[in-house]
Structure 1
Amino acid sequence: MSRIGKKPVELPSGVEASVSGQTVTIKGPKGTREFRATDDVTLAVEDNAVTVTPRGKSKRARQQWGMSRTQVANLVTGVTQGFKKELEITGVGYRAQMQGNTLKLALGYSHDVNFEVPEGVTVTAPKQTEVVIEGIDQQLVGQVAANIREWRAPEPYKGKGIRYKGEYIFRKEGKKK
């Protein structure tokens, strides 16, 4: 039995949920999100909570049970608190700056990197060496952060590059004479 799937997803005040077929829609103060579950699980709204139950005892139904419950819980978190990723830029001359809907990154290339911010997320650069990505879709926020980090991933010798805040980079010793 799924320990995660058994727990119902509580709906805080100001959050509404509706189920039509296999689609659950969550409305909250930050926006509206939807999730379409597979046919292996049943979704229901009862007592101000969303419950997910498996249809049958197949292995796939048990896998989808916990995953679907987690997806619904992430929707509730997204429309109430939102999701946030913070990036740190380390390196001489490396900096970030917002210009309209474009993030300009100076990362040691012969040109500046212009990153177009997709719809649904907000990107800010409070300092030249910090980038903050916020939104209500956890997957989109994480993907945008990964795409920005991909331009200059941290290297193990000097630690230069773009890293997640609090990320530990295993440092290597350079060549010896």
Structure 2
Amino acid sequence: MASHIGKLPVAIPAGVEVTIDGQNFSTKGPKGSDSYVIPEGITGVVENNEVVLTPADDLRPTRAKHGLSRSIIAGMVKGVHEGYAKTLQIVGTGYRAVMKGKGIEFFLGYSHTITVNPPEGIEFEVPNPTTVVVKGIDKQVVGQVAANIRKLRAPEPYKGKGIKYADEHILRKAGKAGK
């Protein structure tokens, strides 16, 4: 029996080039290129403009990696075609971000500023002083960089001050009860 997710083919959009050489999978598109090593026991082929993965045997570890490999490959194809982006909102009086070269300088209420430089393959955008957009082709790296930025000043539950994801809702707590 194969994985339910792993059985689904991955459609290759126009403008994206996919090559499978043994266990090496690589993809190239308008946003860049990426590669992945398919685990042993899983074979991949390109048929009818789709990537199809099949497990070689019915061993449980191979089945688990079957669905994971399909998800990673689908993410890579989407990443080189469209790219990924995470938007962060900065909430708080005096809290802001400014582009400094390719990096970002944050003013977050500390006695010093914090400068974050992008790792390879990541771009930052600051459309306004309270919004930061992290962009790239690798879903995992974009998410990790956004999480690291959020960790600089995580939102607190009383006033909601800090750095939060644009689609995140902060559960608020009641403050001290007045007399």
Aligned to 2:121: 120
Aligned to 2:65: 64
Q: Runs ≥4 in structure 1, deviation > 6 angstroms?
A: none
Q: Deviations over 1:35-92 (max 9, x none)?
A: 1121031111122111111121111111111110011100110011000000000001
Distance 1:13 1:116 in 2: 33
State the TM-score, normalized to the length of structure 2. Answer: 0.95
Q: Which runs of 5+ in 2 are unaligned?
A: none
For these two proteins, the number of residue pairs brought into alignment is 177
- Residue 3 (structure 1) shift: 2.0
Note if 1:41 corresponds to 2:56.
no
Q: CA deviation at 1:128?
A: 0.4
| CA-CA distance at 1:176 after TM superposition | 2.0
Determine the structure 1 residue equivalent to 2:112: 111
Deviation at 1:175, TM superposition (A): 2.1
Whole-Å Cα distance in 2 between the matches of residues 161 and 155 of structure 1? Answer: 7
Q: CA RMSD in A?
A: 1.0
| SS of residue matched to 2:157 | coil
Displacement of 1:7 in angstroms is 1.1
Q: Tell me what 1:136 maps to.
A: 137
Question: Tell me, which stretches of 5 or more residues in structure 1 are unaligned?
Answer: none
CA distance in 2, matches of 1:51, 1:86: 33
Q: Percent identity?
A: 49
3-state SS of 2:26 partner: strand
Q: Which amino acid aligns with 1:162?
A: I
- The more displaced of 124-133 and 6-15 is 6-15
Give the SS at the match of 1:126.
strand
| Partner SS state of residue 88, structure 1 | strand
Equivalent residue, structure 1, for 2:99? 98
Deviates more, 1:40-49 or 1:140-149: 40-49
Residue 165 of structure 2 is aligned to residue 164 of structure 1 = yes
Amino acid aligned to 1:43: G
Tell me the distance in 1 between the aligned counterparts of 2:23 and 2:95: 47
TM-score (norm 1): 0.96
CA contact (8 A) 1:40 1:60 kept: no
Query: What amino acid does structure 2 have at the position aligned with 1:64?
Result: K
